[in-house]
Chain A
């Protein structure tokens, strides 16, 4: 793995080639002798000799950190901040692990002084270290900023998480007494209307599907709706964006990326953006935008995160999301101009910027989900919704044009799985509670199966054995 030049935060491995030099010089010399011997033997066993030389050239010491942010915390309560790591030189068997130590620094937003707390091992097998913070909040909205400084003493490698340390800390939002709702055991299966149906295939009125064969299947990986109500589908198998202009009338824009997992978002002015969610053969995730005449896509630039799972419209352009760091990164403006990598990091927020200056926070656990306003708004609110079943992944949380909040989350009840769809007010009134089938016959759009149009309509991407379809749910 090569050292990356640009920022990677939470959950992403970072490597320190310079640490290899700090590692045992004796060991390196011994390996050099060994490699020389093997290369010499390569005259007799050529394949082994060649391989050993290349294997040696790829050597590097690696330290990577990952962290699942709590996002919400109750005032006066406590929260555990935990970070895990993996490190070692992959070709030296005895050093494939490390013993991490370090500190977590935290402060209330607006304060200058950081408080440093020692991290202690919480699970040595998984290289997890953490500490518990006791919160003292005067009242919401309040936020605690924190960052980790972690090192492996044996190698001398040190890493910050997030990468910018105190310059770009992670955020924990303190909320007081969220309004709590417990959902009914059952909600009605709500009718939906197909708005786009295409059989699997490669033709002009079809959408592509390639079954996996010891790999993931390739199917449409995302969709979005523009202000005119047009549906846009990313047809990964055929490397094209399909635009529905009406019944039986489709237009196509060829995609410049070969990545099979690509998200699409339409900015407020109609500009279409594509973001690679898995790197198509290199170590960057690249962003593209449509040309003014929609004839092609133009490369905008890379994003600073090497793991992204969503691209969404924001008030001034588009933002990308990384899970589980749960941070949103502005990556381009409405004009299609790239936001520089350093700025992406500095402007990142835990909540998602939406149209009314609200930064919406959203967290799903198996027992409940919680939505609330970010700390930069004048009105703080939080609603916690419990389930008698089990929640799966959160698919969507949006501030709607009415000011209410729409949420879609997977609900698991044994073998019975549906998506639960809710509209709630910021004071906790439940306006809509229904379910729709998952419609996930194949791997498609893992966390982008639902979108809300600019007018507030809800759409779902579904796949069946015969066809791909997008349906509208009248919520």
Chain B
């Protein structure tokens, strides 16, 4: 399922989510604990497309983005997903990809979209603060980010440390990770990224800076 079809199916899914959520309230008294695995999003998240899963903001700093991204550390990963709690537990681990958007955690581009506080409309400038438990992926893929789509820009491939700073990102055609803490040498950085089903969302030492597969990109118009 590509991003477009995922988006198209989201409306139908949202109707289902509302129904499931309403039903879950009825069950809540008898079954207070939420289960893991498929249905985690429905049980825990503000539905995708809801007006209550974000706030429009007049400013968003790199420091804001860094703090925000850190809430995702140790949480899950879901392809095309975008909702996580803050309990350091990787729920719905290793779920099959068919359950897309039903497990905890973002994917790499959804994580970047939310940490960079981007608007839901493709190409729109400005800032939206997304609740971590607000389920949203956004319209951008890793390849979009690599190309500098919307309010993002390309820095270049294999950049020097002076060309980048924290919360810039390295994007390939299939993956994007943000610079949590820059290194000073060795082409190494601490990257915060939604890494995959097995690992979830983590901070790890990576050498994307030295890889020809990756391009350094940045969000435009950070608040100083």
Chain A positions near chain B (C-beta within 8 angstroms): 1-2, 11, 13, 42-43, 45-48, 50-52, 54-55, 58-60, 62, 64, 66, 68, 84, 86-88, 90-91, 93, 96-97, 125-127, 211-218, 258-261, 277-283, 306-309, 323-324, 363-366, 390, 392-394, 410, 412, 415, 417, 440, 443, 446-447
A216 touches B207 (CB 8 A): no
Contact with A along B156-174 (1 / 0, CB 8 A): 0010110001100000101
Q: Which of B46, B67, B73, B177 sits near A47, CB closer than 8 Å?
A: B46
Show 7 A/B contacts (Cβ-Cβ < 8 Å), sorted by A.
A45-B52, A46-B24, A84-B181, A93-B55, A214-B175, A279-B202, A393-B188
Contacting residues, chain B, for A93 (C-beta < 8 A): 55, 57, 64, 129
Known A55-B131, A283-B88; contact A215-B46, beta-carbon cutoff 8 A? no
A216 contact from B18, B87, B196, Cβ within 8 A = B196
* A48 CA to B17 CA, complexed, in Å: 12
Query: CB-nearest residue of chain B relative to A394?
Result: B186
Checking B87, B184, B198 against A260 with a beta-carbon cut-off of 8 angstroms, the contacting residue is: B198
Contacts of B132 on A, CB cut-off 8 Å?
55, 58, 90
Alpha-carbon gap, A372 to B200, bound state (A): 38
Interface readout for B190-217 with A: 1 if CB under 8 Å, 0 if not?
1001111111101111110111110000
Question: Is there an interface contact between B70 and A90, defined as CB atoms closer than 8 Å?
Answer: yes
From A96, A126, A215, B165 is in contact (CB under 8 Å) with: A126
Which residues of chain B are within 8 angstroms of A125 by Cβ–Cβ distance? 61-63, 224
Q: Which residue from A47, A87, A212, A365 sits with its C-beta under 8 Å from B196?
A: A212
A449 and chain B: residue at smallest CB distance: B207
Whether the pair B166, A126 counts as a contact (CB closer than 8 A) is: yes
Cβ contacts under 8 Å, B142 to chain A: 214
Residue of A whose beta carbon sits closest to that of B181? A66
Q: What is the chain B residue whose CB lies nearest that of A218? A: B196
Please report the C-alpha to C-alpha distance between residue A306 and residue B134 in the assembled complex, in whole angstroms. 27
B89 close to chain A: CB less than 8 A: yes
Residues of B within 8 Å of A47, CB to CB, are 17-18, 21, 42, 45-47, 50
Q: Which of A51, A90, A127 has the most CB of B within 10 A?
A: A51
Distance of A213 Cα from B133 Cα, bound (Å): 23
B-side contacts of A363, CB under 8 Å: 185
Report the separation of the CA atoms of residues A90 and B68 in the bound assembly, to the nearest whole angstrom: 6
Q: Does B178 contact A (CB under 8 A)?
A: no
Known: A215-B196, A260-B196. A58 touches B86 (CB 8 A): yes
Task: Provide the bound-state CA to CA distance between A412 and B187, in Å.
Answer: 11
Provide the bound-state CA to CA distance between A417 and B22, in Å.
57
Question: Is B151 positioned at the interface, with any CB of A under 8 Å from its CB?
Answer: no
**A49: nearest residue on chain B (CB-CB)?**
B25
Roughly how many angstroms separate A395 CA and B174 CA in the complex, as a whole number? 25
* Bound Cα distance from A212 to B193, whole angstroms: 13
Residue pair B93, A278 in contact (C-beta under 8 Å): no
- Asked whether any CB of chain A lies closer than 8 Å to the CB of B44, the reply is yes
Using Cβ atoms and an 8 Å threshold, which residues of chain B touch A211? Answer: 174
CB distance from B211 to the nearest CB of A (A): 7
B7 contacts the other chain (CB 8 A): no
Closest B residue to A45 by CB, please name it: B52
Known: A51-B46, A283-B74, A307-B190. 17 other contacts (CB 8 A): A46-B22, A47-B45, A86-B66, A88-B63, A125-B62, A214-B108, A215-B175, A216-B195, A259-B199, A277-B204, A278-B199, A280-B90, A324-B183, A392-B186, A393-B186, A393-B209, A447-B188
A213 touching B79 by the CB < 8 A rule?
A: yes
Q: Which of B47, B80, B161, B210 contacts A412 (CB 8 A)?
A: B210
Instruction: Verify A364–B25 contact, CB threshold 8 A.
Output: no
A446 to B17 CA separation, bound complex (whole angstroms): 40
With known contacts A2-B88, A51-B131, A281–B205 Cβ distance under 8 A: no
Distance between Cα atoms of A282 and B44 in the complex (Å) = 19
Q: Which residues of B contact A323 (CB under 8 A)?
A: 183, 186, 188, 190, 205
Instruction: Find B160's partner among A45, A66, A279, A366 (CB 8 Å cutoff).
Output: A366
